Structure 1
Amino acid sequence: MAASLLGRLARTRAGVRTAMVVERAWPVVLPLILVASLFFSLSWFGLFQIMPGWMRWAVLCALGLGMLASLIGLRGLRFPVALEVDRRIEQINRLEHAPVATQTDRLAAGDGGPFAAALWREHQKRMAGRLSRVHGDLPRTSVPERDPWGLRAVAALLFVTAFAYSLGPYGGRIGDAFQPRPTAEATPARIDAWVTPPPYTGRAPIFLTAEANLEQQAFSVPQNSAIAVRVSGGSGEETLSIDDGREAVRDIEPEAGEGDGAMRRFSTLLASDGIVTLTGGGPALRQWQFTIIPDEAPQIRFSQEPKRAVNGALELNYEIEDDYGAVEAQAHFSLAEERPDARPLFDAPEVALRLPRSNAENGAAKSSADLTEHPWAGAATRLHLTVADAAGQTGRSEEETFVLPQRPFTNPLAKALIEQRRLLALDGNQQDRVGALMDALLLWPEETFEEPSHFLLISTVRSKLAQAGSDDALRQVVGDLWEIALIIEDGDLTAAERRLRQAQEALRQALEEGASDEEIAGLVDELRQAMQEFLREFAERAMQNQDFAQGENGQTMRESDLQRMLDQIEDLARSGARDQAQDLLSQLENMMNNLQAGRPQQGQGGQQSEMRQQMDQLGELMRRQQELMNETFRMDQQQRGQQGQQGEQGQQGEGQQQGRGQMPGQGQGQQGQGQGQPMTPEDLAEALRGLQGQQGALQGDLQSLLDGLEGLGIEPGEGFGEAGEAMGEAEGALGEGRGERAVGEQGRALEALRRGAQDMMNQMQQAMQGQQGEGQQGMRQGSNGRDPLGRPQSTTGPDFGDSVEVPDEIDTQRAREILEAIRRRLGDALSPELEKQYLERLLDMR
């Protein structure tokens, strides 16, 4: 019993002792714990990572001072002794007479004897009975009185929250407070550098920092190329310099608004060899070495001496050389004999020269200008040519001295007026002399003038000359003299010729500028009308023979040849072959410049006329066979498109959409035989069979032609026999609705007709040589039997289509289909941008 009581009492004492220790230590230790928890919270929240160095150290010092202040309170901390513990137990349990202390107390030695000892034991026993329900107590600190607002809970809450936050990816560490603030790793700056050659060079930009060029340090670029360097995300201290090895290193300033540190951009022109260096406030970041390709000045020179065309136009043949192509060329005139006291009324004529095409051999070019109306015409002049490139450099040719071509006048009165006009135009001081010469013309009008109106006109201009008191008035007199001379010489031919020139120039400019097909068609019609009017008036002056005229060197051409050239120019322009159309138009201009009136050769017998008729019939037969082959080809293509549409039903694609309505490049006239609905496969097969009759008629006409040739003593060659056989095969294929085979046989027939025609022409020439004189034979040999288009002359055979490189209908149709397909792809919003750029370059090709 006593042992258990003592054990229980010992446990109670231990508990009370602990409570008392807590009561005394907690108020002293709590500030230290709060300071420590605040330190851990700041560390775990990562605040020390973002604090500047001075702030971090200030916070640490404040926390350290707080901790030291907390430690000072520990000096007054005393742990409870046994007596204090017993008294606490007795106070808790409200025990009187110290029963707890009685259990451990001892009698003093030598006090009371046995009776006192027994009495003490009895007393302890009685006190022990009061300790049967003794208990301890909880600590009672003074913290609530010191912190009535419970701010200590905030520290605990921060501690717990910071600990949880520290487990995340952005949490801090305890050691952050004792480490310097981590500096963010410097992101390497992005450097973009490229060189853009001048636009006129046609060269693509060079991306210097591209992966393919990172290892390359040396580049060759055209002169005046622009280098641009852009630095993004750098330190803002980047600089760009260029060292050409001759002067001091030149720094390139950043562009305005680009030097804020976020992005810096530099740009300059490369005019000479040098090294461009990009630095970032220290070592060089990038360095490039450039070798400049110099831009040579253009050169121009005469390839032939200036010459006069038959109609008086000035023809200039020259060659232009430039490394990137010239942009402008001019012809400059000056008087060969300039008198210091002269007072010219008109400036020198100005002629802009045509530039050579990009694929022209040796840069050859040709220009013509009608200067016959200019007052300087007929005067000795000096001429030199100049050329300029896109860089502003110029070149000059050698100087040529010649007489400026003038319009030939056959009427003596007109010639006299032109001489007086030139005399007055070159020197206004010759006004009195010119007046005296005109008075001489008016002295005997009955013998001088054939028309009274001519006398009246000259009298009027003589009066104006006498009253002219200024250079403007004299210039008006010069213009009147020209008009009067034209009226006396040519009547109304000049107006038609001027309209023809204007129509030719308008069409040429439209082809160079890439005008639309509608505009080209309108200009061709205008040129056709002007040419018909010109030829009609020209033929009236050539003994009313408007069927044909002769070019230079006796080359014969018909009006139908000129009309065919116009049709070919229009077809080439529509198919996209603008260069070929310009070449053909230049040929036409040259032919009109050298046009002369022609007369039928006298003395040709009736047999030659019959031979010519037979050749014309053969040419017409070949033309009809060509048109029939083109029509067969179009129908066969349309039939194939219908079959392809039926075999691809249910599929989505561009080809199916084209098949539903219209073939690529097919015109409205080919759609459903001119109707709104497309033809069915059965209709197309029936249409092919409908061409069978036309093919049979051609075969019959060929046989009639062969019979006529035999009547003239000409033995038809093997080509005509093969042509008849091929026509029969084509007729059978058309009857069966097989268009592809029919086209092949028709092509074979056409080729055979050409061979037969060549053989027939050789036999006719042999027959005609026996009837014509040596002079006519020499003329044909001199012109090689060709007209200005390079085709056989009408006197030696028709045009068989093998002498001029002009696309036929099938080639033109294919070219149109390609152009239509390109335009559809460009109009498709879903087409890739890179593909659109490529297709646009195809359409811009010249």
Structure 2
Amino acid sequence: MTDRPNASITPRLKQRLLFSRAATRVAMIAERFWPLVLPLVLIAGLFVSLSWFGVFALLPEGLRVALAAVFALGALAALWPLRFLRLPKAAEIDRRIEAVNRLEHNPLLTLDDRPSGARTPFGEALWREHQKRMAARLGRLDAAVPDARVPERDPWGLRAGVALLLFTSFAFSYGPLGGRLSDPFQPAAAREVIAPRIDAWVTPPPYTGKAPMFLTADANRGVSTFTVPQDSTLSLRVTGGSGEETLSYAPSGRDAQAIEPAKAASGEAGAAPAAGNVRQFAGALTEDGELLLHSGRQEIGRWGFSVTPDKPPVIRFAAEPKRAVNGTLELQYEIEDDYGAASARAGFEQAQAPAPNARPLYDEPEMTLNLPRRGSKANAAKTSKDLTEHVWAGSSIRLTLSATDDADQTAHSEAMTMVMPERSFTNPLARAVIEQRRLLGLDANARQRVLDLIDAVTLRPEDTFDSPTSYLALMSVRSRLRLAGSDDQLRDVVSYMWQVALGIEDGSLSDAEQRLRQAQQALQEALRNGASDEEISKLMQELRQAMNDFLREFAQRNQNRDNAQMPQDGQQMRQSDLDRMLDQIENLARSGNREQAEDLLSQLQDMMNNLQMAQPNQGQQGQQGEFSQQMNKLGEIMRRQQEMMNETFRMDQMQRGDDGQSGDGDRQDQGQQGQNDRNGQPGQGGMTPEELAEALKQLQEGQGQLQRDLQQLGKNLEGMGMQPNEGFGQADRSMGQAGESLGEGEGDRAVGHQGRALEALRQGARDMMQQLQAMMGEDGQQGQGGRQQNADRDPLGRPRATQGPDFGDSVKVPDEIDVQRARRILDEIRKRLGDALSPQVERRYLERLLEAK
């Protein structure tokens, strides 16, 4: 009898059985697996909890390894019971379902079972009926629920304690003292990684005069792009961190380029005690781009840069090169550069090429040009140099100016063709020596020709030479030239011939003039190179001595000239005017205004050049002379007001306890000064408070007398038909206010009133001159009895001091107020440099300010 399919198992019942058996199978596996794996879970939970609590990070290295090993052995031991795991069989699954659903007589077994023994139709029918009844009892089956009976194995509930510990440690791990799961497996050095501190800054090139820019400052955190000069130095320092930080720079449109760390130091000054890793990076910014800082794969910093290129300089002639009255070459030019040029020079080239076989003894002349003041809006400059001694003097040359900035970019001007200035010699013998000297200097092969010319000149000495000295000097030149065996010796002969020509022409004046020019050049170089105050004082003393010698010998030479007269109303400058000008140059140099001192020295050189063209003069006559006397009185009042303002300023500084010194000891000096004042002992400047008060009282009396002299001068001018303008009234009021401030001991306010009085006097003097010109009818009559163009100038090219006041429009000397402000700024910079707590970057910037030209 063949087996028939069980008709009582419907498709729906079959699906229910399949689901119940699968779910029950999973439940039985879970309840058999969970008790075996529970020890491993508890050990793992305890291990994770201790890691999150940071226990492993606090343990010494040996104890950390030992504890980690204990947990590893415990985990291995907990895996041993898993060998007893058995998967449930089909019959066990059915029995579990029948037990869960409380089914009697094993209905699930009946569905799959069959009768034993011989099969008969009746028996088969009876069995199918029985299966049908059992299947009817399976209307709803529930799957088994896992029951691992863990409480029987863990009666103390240790699993709950581990779970609570795990939850608490997870929350604790997010705190500042929390640990990480990797702590048990990392050495102590690797675990001591803190959040990195990033310091980044950009230092512009020193010649730009710009301050460093801190990228990580709070004020710059919102800046996306920084504008910096080209060739700025980028510096970045990472303190702490993982030690794996990398820095790269990505130029616009190109791939990023890595910047290697400058060094990897440990424990540098300024680093936090817990941060041993310090990585420093440095590079130059030459083009636009972005700076990227990464720690591993994580980006921790990004900065954008817009690099401003350094433009090349531009130099051009502001006027045609010209020859000064004393033969020096004067160049006026303009130099434009975004940060100021670093150097400039004039290049010389002969307009006509020398002969092919010529052997010149000298190269082209060298002439360094003065530069415009850095930071000034004016880009014009002027340079004068005496090149009359060069053998090219008197030759046709092509002159080209060139300027170079600090970025080594050079620009050239257009070429100018001119005749190189030469000194004028009136003595025929001196001119002959100069011509022979030029011939020898341009071509050493002309040596024999020069000897022949000297022999021709000395053939009849009684007809050619006025003195034996000139004859002996020229014969000495002949002997030296004949015995010269090298080019160096020939150059010595050329130099000696120049001295001989000067001696024939001017006698001893040439030596004095040469010493004066050397002293001026030495002082100019010292001001330009930032020499010390002691060296400036020494060079100023040498300049005064050289100028006195030159003026004395120049005056002696003019006394011997016949019929030498100046224009009718010309006058000579007094020695006191030159002394005041030299004192002003020295004061400006000491106060830090060396650029203005250099400008004033250049103007002094121009005046000395004009002096050689001056001649003695005659006095003034008539009404114009009378008016000139009154203007001389006004000039004397202005001079006394200037001196009084200087004295008031000095007294005010002494009253404040500032003797001009600065540095770290200022506070101590001031404290000592106050103590001395309280004890009645001498304070700053060696004067007691009583002496200072007496000095201020004398200044007040002098100011009052000066005010009365000004009022009397106004009355005298009114008697001459002149109308003193508002400038004299303003000067009178300012003088009165200055006297009141001196009486109250307020020197600072008195200096301000005195400065305004001085400026008002200058304005009044200008108006008086305009009234005089209107009365005398000088406008448009310069050619008919009027004064000549330079008649109101003294031999040095300035307004004549004996003819009236200095209107302040020729020699631009800074007022005392400007000098006072510059000195205070200089003292403040020095005080900041003396502060030991100032950052190093700020100290370097202040040092560059002091060294700036």
TM beyond 0.5: yes
Q: How far did residue 330 of structure 1 move?
A: 2.2
Q: 2: CA distance between counterparts of 1:268 and 1:738?
A: 57
| 1:699–1:727 CA contact under 8 A, matched in 2 | no
User: Structure 2: which amino acid aligns with 1:594?
Assistant: N
Find the counterpart in structure 2 of residue 304 from structure 1: 319
Q: Decide which of 776, 784, 798 is 2:805's aligned counterpart.
A: 798
| 1:688–1:734 CA contact under 8 A, matched in 2 | no
Give the 5 Å matches for 1:308-323: 308-323=323-338
1:58 is aligned to 2:73: yes
Find the counterpart in structure 1 of residue 346 from structure 2: 331
Q: Which moved more, 1:191-200 or 1:823-832?
A: 823-832
Q: 1: CA distance between counterparts of 2:458 and 2:205?
A: 65
1:465 is aligned to 2:475: no
Q: The residue matched to 2:399 in structure 1 has which SS?
A: strand
Q: How far did residue 297 of structure 1 move?
A: 2.5
Q: Decide which of 674, 678, 686 is 2:688's aligned counterpart.
A: 678
1:510 is aligned to 2:520: no
1:223 is aligned to 2:239: no
1:371 is aligned to 2:387: yes
Q: 2: CA distance between counterparts of 1:752 and 1:231?
A: 62
CA offset digits 1:313-372 (Å, max 9, x no partner): 112222222223222222222222222211011122222222221244452222222111
Q: 2: CA distance between counterparts of 1:197 and 1:390?
A: 12
Find the counterpart in structure 2 of residue 109 from structure 1: none
Q: 2: CA distance between counterparts of 1:321 and 1:748?
A: 35
| 2:654–2:684 CA contact under 8 A, matched in 1 | no
Find the counterpart in structure 2 of residue 16 from structure 1: none
Give the 5 Å matches for 1:9-158: 50-51=64-65, 56-61=71-76
Q: 2: CA distance between counterparts of 1:819 and 1:355?
A: 23
Q: The residue matched to 2:502 in structure 1 has which SS?
A: helix
Find the counterpart in structure 1 of residue 552 from structure 2: 536
Find the counterpart in structure 2 of residue 140 from structure 1: none
Alpha carbons of structure 1 residues 776 and 584: separation in structure 2 relative to 1, 3 Å: farther
Q: How far did residue 792 of structure 1 move?
A: 4.3
Alpha carbons of structure 1 residues 660 and 323: separation in structure 2 relative to 1, 3 Å: same
User: Structure 2: which amino acid aligns with 1:222?
Assistant: P
Q: How far did residue 630 of structure 1 move?
A: 5.7
Which consecutive unaligned segments of at least 5 residues does structure 2 have? 1-38, 57-63, 84-161, 173-180, 267-274, 659-666
Q: How far did residue 791 of structure 1 move?
A: 6.3
1:498 is aligned to 2:514: yes
CA offset digits 1:613-669 (Å, max 9, x no partner): 444344334433554566567668877999xxxxxxxxx999776555589xxxxxx
Q: The residue matched to 1:387 in structure 2 has which SS?
A: strand
Find the counterpart in structure 1 of residue 456 from structure 2: 440
Q: 1: CA distance between counterparts of 2:699 and 2:430?
A: 61
Q: 2: CA distance between counterparts of 1:607 and 1:556?
A: 21
Find the counterpart in structure 1 of residue 416 from structure 2: 400
1:522 is aligned to 2:538: yes
User: Structure 1: which amino acid aligns with 2:72?
Assistant: W
Q: Decide which of 602, 611, 620 is 2:636's aligned counterpart.
A: 620
Alpha carbons of structure 1 residues 429 and 233: separation in structure 2 relative to 1, 3 Å: same
User: Structure 2: which amino acid aligns with 1:428?
Assistant: A
Q: How far did residue 412 of structure 1 move?
A: 1.0
Q: The residue matched to 1:594 in structure 2 has which SS?
A: helix
| 1:344–1:428 CA contact under 8 A, matched in 2 | yes
Q: Decide which of 308, 323, 326 is 1:293's aligned counterpart.
A: 308
Find the counterpart in structure 2 of residue 72 from structure 1: none
| 1:550–1:595 CA contact under 8 A, matched in 2 | no
Q: Which moved more, 1:811-820 or 1:267-276?
A: 811-820
TM-score of the superposition, structure 1-length normalised? 0.66
Q: How far did residue 592 of structure 1 move?
A: 1.7
Q: 2: CA distance between counterparts of 1:675 and 1:620?
A: 29
Q: 2: CA distance between counterparts of 1:217 and 1:675?
A: 55
Find the counterpart in structure 1 of residue 367 from structure 2: 351
User: Structure 2: which amino acid aligns with 1:371?
Assistant: L
CA offset digits 1:431-459 (Å, max 9, x no partner): 12222222221222222111122122212
| 1:685–1:737 CA contact under 8 A, matched in 2 | no
Q: 1: CA distance between counterparts of 2:280 and 2:745?
A: 69
Q: 1: CA distance between counterparts of 2:848 and 2:706?
A: 45
Find the counterpart in structure 1 of residue 86 from structure 2: none
Q: 2: CA distance between counterparts of 1:482 and 1:654?
A: 58
Q: 2: CA distance between counterparts of 1:45 and 1:615?
A: 101
Alpha carbons of structure 1 residues 730 and 672: separation in structure 2 relative to 1, 3 Å: farther
Q: 1: CA distance between counterparts of 2:782 and 2:723?
A: 27
Q: How far did residue 820 of structure 1 move?
A: 5.4
Q: 2: CA distance between counterparts of 1:276 and 1:468?
A: 68
User: Structure 2: which amino acid aligns with 1:312?
Assistant: G
The CA RMSD measured in Å over matched residues stands at 5.5
User: Structure 2: which amino acid aligns with 1:530?
Assistant: A
Alpha carbons of structure 1 residues 373 and 830: separation in structure 2 relative to 1, 3 Å: same
Q: 2: CA distance between counterparts of 1:215 and 1:759?
A: 58
User: Structure 1: which amino acid aligns with 2:689?
Assistant: M
User: Structure 2: which amino acid aligns with 1:391?
Assistant: A
Q: Decide which of 174, 191, 201 is 2:208's aligned counterpart.
A: 201
Q: The residue matched to 1:506 in structure 2 has which SS?
A: helix
Which consecutive unaligned segments of at least 5 residues does structure 1 have? 1-34, 69-162, 174-178, 643-651, 664-670
Alpha carbons of structure 1 residues 346 and 661: separation in structure 2 relative to 1, 3 Å: farther
| 2:635–2:805 CA contact under 8 A, matched in 1 | yes
Q: 2: CA distance between counterparts of 1:426 and 1:215?
A: 68
| 1:557–1:793 CA contact under 8 A, matched in 2 | yes
Q: How far did residue 729 of structure 1 move?
A: 7.0
Q: The residue matched to 1:530 in structure 2 has which SS?
A: helix
Find the counterpart in structure 2 of residue 412 from structure 1: 428
Q: How far did residue 480 of structure 1 move?
A: 1.9
Alpha carbons of structure 1 residues 662 and 458: separation in structure 2 relative to 1, 3 Å: farther
Q: 2: CA distance between counterparts of 1:66 and 1:721?
A: 117
CA offset digits 1:357-402 (Å, max 9, x no partner): 1244452222222111122222222222222222222222222222
Q: The residue matched to 2:407 in structure 1 has which SS?
A: coil
User: Structure 2: which amino acid aligns with 1:269?
Assistant: A
User: Structure 2: which amino acid aligns with 1:407?
Assistant: R
User: Structure 2: which amino acid aligns with 1:353?
Assistant: L
TM-score of the superposition, structure 2-length normalised? 0.66
CA offset digits 1:484-506 (Å, max 9, x no partner): 11110111112111211122222
Q: 2: CA distance between counterparts of 1:203 and 1:543?
A: 57
Q: 2: CA distance between counterparts of 1:827 and 1:812?
A: 23
Find the counterpart in structure 1 of residue 401 from structure 2: 385
User: Structure 1: which amino acid aligns with 2:475?
Assistant: S
Q: How far did residue 587 of structure 1 move?
A: 1.1
Q: How far did residue 588 of structure 1 move?
A: 0.9
CA offset digits 1:659-687 (Å, max 9, x no partner): 55589xxxxxxx9699845133xx66655
Which structure would you say has the larger RCO, counting Cα contacts within 8 Å and 6 or more residues apart?
Answer: 2
| 2:293–2:301 CA contact under 8 A, matched in 1 | yes
Q: How far did residue 701 of structure 1 move?
A: 6.3
User: Structure 2: which amino acid aligns with 1:223?
Assistant: Q
Q: The residue matched to 1:349 in structure 2 has which SS?
A: coil
Q: 2: CA distance between counterparts of 1:834 and 1:557?
A: 51
Alpha carbons of structure 1 residues 358 and 831: separation in structure 2 relative to 1, 3 Å: closer
Find the counterpart in structure 2 of residue 561 from structure 1: 577
Alpha carbons of structure 1 residues 211 and 788: separation in structure 2 relative to 1, 3 Å: farther
| 1:228–1:266 CA contact under 8 A, matched in 2 | yes
| 1:53–1:181 CA contact under 8 A, matched in 2 | no
Give the 5 Å matches for 1:235-314: 238-244=245-251, 250-255=257-262, 262=277, 264-282=279-297, 284-314=299-329
